[in-house]
Structure 1
Amino acid sequence: MIIYNVTVNVDNSIHDEWLEWMKTEHIPQVLGTGKFEKATLSQVLVEEELGGITYSIQYRSYSRAALDAYYKDDADKLRNEGLKKFADKMVAFRTELQIVDEYSVKFN
């Protein structure tokens, strides 16, 4: 499985509007493409030098092919919606993570 991670630093002046948009519009739209099984929205607790508030959104893709299809069919349109809405008040970068193994604690 591949995790498509989007890290976004959001200016305080648009934070509340951006967060609401992410929760109610953007993340549901990305999941609505059918290329991801779930998303996790997390706040990064390390303070950035540039200020603002930073979030990580991790989308779990069904496969490499599904992620590639997202890039081809959906990514530009969905990214541009955020850029139009929030312009220079946010900065984002994207990474891909390959899950190697997962572990959990088992209680008796």
Structure 2
Amino acid sequence: MLLYNVTTIIEDSSADRWLQWMQEIHIPQVMQTGLFISNRLLKVVDSPNEGVTYCSQYVVEDMDNFLEYQNKFASALIAEVNINFQNQQVSFTSLMEYIA
């Protein structure tokens, strides 16, 4: 199993709207792809960055499912984030493998 992590730093002034949008729209859209097993949303409490830092995490069964998500869905979903929060956030991703 793999953990797909998206870390987002969002401006303080947009953080509440971003959080609501994530919970009501974006995360459900990602999960509706049917490629992820579960998800969680975390707030980084000791972030050294300005703004608010969140981690959106999605568990995926295998690399094939992750690549299918990347190839079929990721671009459109990322574009929607950029449209709604242009110049208000920065995100980076990481893909991790479960060991134990």
Deviations 1:32-75 (A, max 9, x none): 001101111000111323x1000011100121100000000000
TM superposition score normalised by structure 1: 0.90
- Give the Cα–Cα distance (whole angstroms) in 2 for the partners of residues 31 and 90 of structure 1: 22
Per the alignment, in what secondary structure is the counterpart of residue 100 of structure 1?
A: coil
Q: Map 1:29-40 to 2 at 5 A.
A: 29-40=29-40
Name the residue aligned to 2:96: 97
Name the residue aligned to 2:84: 85
- Give the Cα–Cα distance (whole angstroms) in 2 for the partners of residues 81 and 59 of structure 1: 18
Note the C-alpha offset of 1:100. Answer: 0.6
Per the alignment, in what secondary structure is the counterpart of residue 87 of structure 2?
A: helix
Q: Map 1:14-29 to 2 at 5 A.
A: 14-29=14-29
**Unpaired runs of at least 5, structure 1:** 102-108
Aligned residues: 100
- Spell out structure 1 runs of 4+ moving beyond 6 A: none
TM superposition score normalised by structure 2: 0.97
- Give the Cα–Cα distance (whole angstroms) in 1 for the partners of residues 11 and 42 of structure 2: 16
Per the alignment, in what secondary structure is the counterpart of residue 99 of structure 2?
A: coil
**Unpaired runs of at least 5, structure 2:** none
Name the residue aligned to 1:68: 67
Per the alignment, in what secondary structure is the counterpart of residue 87 of structure 1?
A: coil
- Give the Cα–Cα distance (whole angstroms) in 1 for the partners of residues 52 and 69 of structure 2: 27
- Give the Cα–Cα distance (whole angstroms) in 1 for the partners of residues 36 and 87 of structure 2: 28
Name the residue aligned to 1:6: 6
